[in-house]
């Protein structure tokens, strides 16, 4: 009698294992996505004081610049190819930096990034969401098949 119940209990234990594999794949995908976000979020700009950055602009040593209003950050590329960024605290500083840049007119121009009012996702976020949804569908279908097999 114990011999008859042993194969059945083994079958139940083994039937749970296939559900484990999609979960492990989902976990691995999540780890890879997080690692990708961390690696892609590199900052190649060297930290500098705001007075240094404005001095470089006023001395016409800047080839391009970007003001990121939401982050309260300015990024510049100097004429010798070095890249710097600086941050500020007070809200009126972005307009002041805009005026300085407009007067200096860097060779490659400058941009101002203003935060958008909508909820838009970038391509990386859309891809990550699609992968996670696909993995969730696979896990749910596998679980349904396992329930039907019992």
Average pLDDT per block of 10 residues along the chain, 150 residues long? 51 58 79 78 83 95 92 93 92 88 92 74 79 86 81
For the domain covering 49-113, report its CATH number.
3.30.720.210
| The predicted structure's pLDDT at residue 62 | 95
| The predicted structure's pLDDT at residue 125 | 78
| The predicted structure's pLDDT at residue 2 | 47
Tokens of 20: 């484990």
Q: How far is CA 114 from CA 10, 15, 18, 111, in A?
A: 61, 54, 49, 10
| The predicted structure's pLDDT at residue 113 | 87
- DSSP bridge pairs for 17: none
Q: Residue ranges of the domains in the chain?
A: 19-41+120-149, 49-113
């Amino acid at each position: 009698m114990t011999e008859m119940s042993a194969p059945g209990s083994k079958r139940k234990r083994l039937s749970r294992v296939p559900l484990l594999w999609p979960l492990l794949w989902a976990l691995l995908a999540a780890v890879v996505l997080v690692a990708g976000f961390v690696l892609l979020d590199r900052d190649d700009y060297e930290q500098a004081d705001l007075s240094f950055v404005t001095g470089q602009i006023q001395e016409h040593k800047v080839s391009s610049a970007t003001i990121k209003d939401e982050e309260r950050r300015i990024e510049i590329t100097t004429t010798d190819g070095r890249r710097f960024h600086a941050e500020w605290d007070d809200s009126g500083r972005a307009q002041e930096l805009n005026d300085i840049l407009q007067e200096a007119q860097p060779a490659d121009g400058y941009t101002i990034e203003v935060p958008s009012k909508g909820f838009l996702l970038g391509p990386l976020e859309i891809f990550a969401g699609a992968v996670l949804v696909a993995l969730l569908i696979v896990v749910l279908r596998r679980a349904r098949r396992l329930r039907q097999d019992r």
